[in-house]
Structure 1
Amino acid sequence: MNSLHPPINRYRRLKTTYSDNPVLVIDTDASHEDLLNAAQQRLCAANNLLETLYCMCFQQADVKDIPNIINALYLLTQDGCELLEVAKFKVNNKN
């Protein structure tokens, strides 16, 4: 996690946003528990997808599905890591 860019504004845009106008943001004023739960949800979903892929027979897989799977894993893990970063920042800067 990169703590060189701490949350400054209340709403921190996700790095996975593809446009200059952020649609998905992290509310840095959210409770620590809510941030951790959201991070856990995304990271567990990514983990479950990886487990499914590990158990699959790759002879049945279609090559054109690989970019879709990678994109889903990227979005889930990146968002989860950013949520953890905000939660960690909140704990380290608690008064």
Structure 2
Amino acid sequence: MNMPDPLTTRYRPLSSRYSETPVLVIDTEADPTEILDAARQRIRAASDLLETLYCLCFKKADTRDIPNIVNALYLLTQDGNDLLDTARRRLPKTPG
């Protein structure tokens, strides 16, 4: 009988990784409140960045900055989403 590897079940790699080797992981056994706080931090940072961009004048912006901004927003929102998914799995199941 194959037993699940506790390292791969406890530590979930972030979806935003660029290689097959996970470097940044989510501890799925961490307190769900702490996981939610980490998700909120990343989503808030992405939201603040979007708000800043909304207020800027793009006439003076360098087009080479756009991929950097998009990458930062992708990492923040994808990591936040992964954290939210993990926290959701930790919440008690409600009878339906």
Compared with structure 1, are the counterparts of its residues 24 and 93 closer, same or farther at alpha carbon in structure 2 (3 Å cutoff)?
farther
Partners of 1:55 and 1:21 lie apart in 2 by: 38
Partners of 2:86 and 2:92 lie apart in 1 by: 10
Partners of 1:92 and 1:77 lie apart in 2 by: 25
Bigger RCO (CA 8 Å, 6+ sep): 1
Provide structure 2 residue ranges, at least 5 long, that are not aligned to the other structure. Answer: 1-7
RMSD of the TM alignment (CA)? Answer: 1.4
Provide structure 1 residue ranges, at least 5 long, that are not aligned to the other structure. Answer: 1-7
Paired-residue identity, %: 57
AA partner of residue 82 (structure 2): E
Partners of 2:74 and 2:34 lie apart in 1 by: 21
Partners of 2:27 and 2:93 lie apart in 1 by: 16
Q: Normalization by structure 2: what TM-score?
A: 0.87
1:13 counterpart residue number = 13
Q: Normalization by structure 1: what TM-score?
A: 0.87
1:31 counterpart residue number = 31
Partners of 1:93 and 1:12 lie apart in 2 by: 20
CA radius of gyration, larger in: 2
Compared with structure 1, are the counterparts of its residues 24 and 50 closer, same or farther at alpha carbon in structure 2 (3 Å cutoff)?
same
